[in-house]
Chains A and B, each alone.
Chain A
Amino acid sequence: MTSTETTDILVVGSGFGGAIAAYHLAAGGARVVLLERGPWLEGEDFEHDFKLGSSYTRIFDFVVGDGMSLLGGNCVGGGSVVYFAAMPRAPRFVFERKGNIGRRMWPSTISRDTLEPWYDRVAEALPVTRQDWDSVTYSGGLFAAACAHAGRTANPVPVAIDGDRCTNCNWMMAGCRFDAKRSLLFNYLPAAVAHGAEIRPMHEVQHLSRTEDGGYRVHYTVVDDEDYRVHTGSGTIDAKIVVLAAGAGATPVILQRSEGALGAMPAAVGRYFSGNGERLNTAILDEDRVRDLLGLSRGDGAAYGASQIGKGPCVASWDRLDGTLPEYSRYSLEQLYFPPGFGTILAQVPDASGPTWFGVEKKEIVRRWQSWLTIFTMSEDDNEGVFGPPPATGNAERISQQMLGRGPIRYRPTANTLRGWAQADAEVRDIMERDGLSRVMPWTNDVVGAYTVHPLASCRIGDDPNTSALDDRHELRNHPGIFVTDGSAVPGALTVNPAMTIAALAERAIPGIVQAARQRGVEVTYGAPSPDGATSGRRGALPFVSGLVRK
């Protein structure tokens, strides 16, 4: 006789969507098992090393699709471990967006105002803090000064970083060696474990089927520690509730693969994917102009030359986040750092006489790398990404042992998206090339297509069953007991870094998940404090809880 393992709640993925759900449900008394396909690294495991096989290739995924490539986390803590910890709230107009469906695409129950108490819970939990100018890096300061020189405003962005611990090593994408990045490894996840949640790394969920009692059987494989193309085992766990939070590049794939066992999926599963309208430009600074025009000096004779120094994005320009502007013309611009490799390959040569992204002239601009400043655009795209048939396992056909794979996403930017990118590119040039400050080129989309570090919307919430896979409580339509709480639930591009909004939506989804679990006989309650015991966020959100459960 075979015995199947059982739990109350099975959570797939340990990024914001999974960690927040695991914490609240475990703290509320449910048995929680969390399956994460990547490794569990922390502290000294995070290496300052570009060698393939070191921490950055173990915890990162780079999936090349047809016209769109996705960068995402692949580890316990998910995106929070590899991201840059920029945590702005989404501007008010975003929630009123219509996108390509001609009517408001967010559920009527969600606006900036109604999400505010859930943002507050996340801000308390991580915590998220404002940056002052003293913590803004040379790169951020340079961008701010360039914005001011061009008549723009610029803001230090709110972050989940402990400034006292940060060494400005700029290895954030490899995980934080100094425990300065307040990833989920420091708040929701340890608190979930303390309440009895069990986290299993290297467990990749492949599909779901139904159990006789109306619950779900979760089918997983165990991934080899070094060669992620190799699966070393498999198993199943039965659960009363499944919370899917595998990321916007993987959640719809798991559901597509489950269609044979579960029946038809809502039409919006694997559709309406958004790359958050992302786009990158590289400015190559004229160091003399930095000094003369902007009056900047590092005090050691150098004006800038600091590309390698810092901590991801510090400063953003929000002048175009103006709700009175037409949709598709609003975007933020953010100073950013990518390490070499990711940050150099797609950069193009200004005024190239030959190839723009390789060759003699490319080598010449790479030689000036310390004078590079990368500007990140987050705009309003058109939810034009569609997932094709799922690969045999996971969300990509893996090419390399780690990191690199070929995924089923297809993305053809519409005229709306392309126009927004062109406007943003022109504005970056206007700011960064003014009075000869630098030369600017966008990254090429001809090599790996467009790209995003913030995949969204591939299994989204909404009021219209034809254009949203989830109801406004994040439950999968026609499949009660399956909830989705990751970036795939966000309806569309946010024009800012999305982690704060993904996390706030996950916090907001918990009362509904708790209610569904209780209806299935799970003894669980809602109302846990912040992971460190603080209660201010809970106090702010409690008045809204009754509105989030089904009457």
Chain B
Amino acid sequence: MKPGIPDEEQVRTMTLEAFADTIVPGEKRSPDDRAVAGAAEGGGAVVAGAVELLETPATGLAPALGDFARLLNRHAQAYAGQHGLELDPTLPPFVALSFPHRTALVGVLTAPGHPEREVWVSIALFSNMAFDTAAHMHTLDAIAAGHPGLASMGFAMPDSDGLWRFSDYSYGRKLASLHPSTTPTGSPA
């Protein structure tokens, strides 16, 4: 391996991170973070655990992630060619794309009619789930660890036994007139 050139494992991880970061963008983990574009404030899909989630056996995608990363980088290379973009040769091609270009390419790959759309939609769905549900972790652990997605959504804390209960849940008053044809069982006529 040449100095400064990432190995295959790093290429795979960085490429998947860059994809996940396109779905739910976040701030850079460090000034020299290249996979995360830094397009939004706060943690995004990457720090939420997108790659960890994709790698869990439960998703069924783990064995193919290397192939997906290679495929994505080929698309990025082709995209750069079409748009006359110079890519940093020390980076995986998708990582070397700017955030707007990553976004445009992901838009193409997930659009109705794209032959590989099922693959890219699946990775996008799991990237979303990493942020919205922390599906690679027990939810209690995720909350305790300050998971960025659940925190950003304001996901409420459970009771001390780890279960959610909301004793205040209702405005407690009639807020509309019933449909005039409502039957005695409460159904539509």
Contact = CB atoms under 8 A, between A and B. Distances in A.
B171 A355 contact: no
A177 B163 contact: yes
B128 A344 contact: yes
Nearest to A137: B169
Most buried by A among B122, B131, B170, B181: B170
Given A123-B185, A130-B186, A155-B178, A309 B169 contact: yes
Nearest to B182: A155
Interface in B152-189: 152-156, 158, 162-183, 185-189
A334 to B, nearest CB: 12
Interface in B5-57: 22-25, 39-40, 44, 53, 56-57
A202 to B, nearest CB: 17
A210 interface: no
B57 A401 contact: yes
Given A88-B188, A148-B175, A48 B153 contact: no
A448 interface: yes
A340 to B, nearest CB: 4
B171 A138 contact: yes
Given A89-B183, A358-B106, A367-B152, A133 B175 contact: yes
A130 B170 contact: no
A446 B58 contact: no
Residues of A contacting B: mostly: loop
Interface in A200-256: 227, 229
Contacts of B53: 52
Contacts of A148: 175-177
A318 interface: yes
A341 B172 contact: no
A500 B171 CA distance: 28
Most buried by B among A51, A133, A400: A51
B185 A345 contact: no
Residues of B contacting A: mostly: loop
Contacts of A370: 153-154
Interface stretch (A168-176, A188-196, A416-424, A525-533): A168-176
A169 B165 contact: yes
A258 interface: no
Given A133-B174, A363-B25, A446-B112, A340 B189 contact: no
Interface stretch (B69-77, B79-87, B88-96, B136-144): B136-144
B139 A138 contact: no
B116 interface: no
Interface in A325-358: 332, 339-341, 344-345, 354-355, 358
Contact of B44 (A51, A157, A310, A363): A363
A282 interface: no
Contact of A134 (B149, B152, B172, B181): B172
Interface string B109-128: 01110000010011011001
A177 to B, nearest CB: 6
B168 A298 contact: yes
15 contacts: A50-B135, A51-B136, A51-B137, A128-B185, A144-B175, A145-B171, A152-B176, A153-B179, A355-B107, A360-B40, A363-B24, A366-B132, A400-B58, A404-B60, A446-B112
Q: Which 8 A-B pairs have the closest CB atoms?
A: A154-B176, A130-B186, A167-B165, A50-B133, A52-B58, A89-B187, A340-B132, A144-B175
Given A155-B188, A321-B179, A340-B132, 19 more contacts: A50-B142, A51-B137, A51-B138, A52-B59, A92-B189, A145-B175, A153-B178, A154-B177, A168-B166, A308-B155, A318-B179, A319-B179, A340-B150, A341-B132, A344-B128, A358-B23, A358-B106, A360-B40, A500-B187
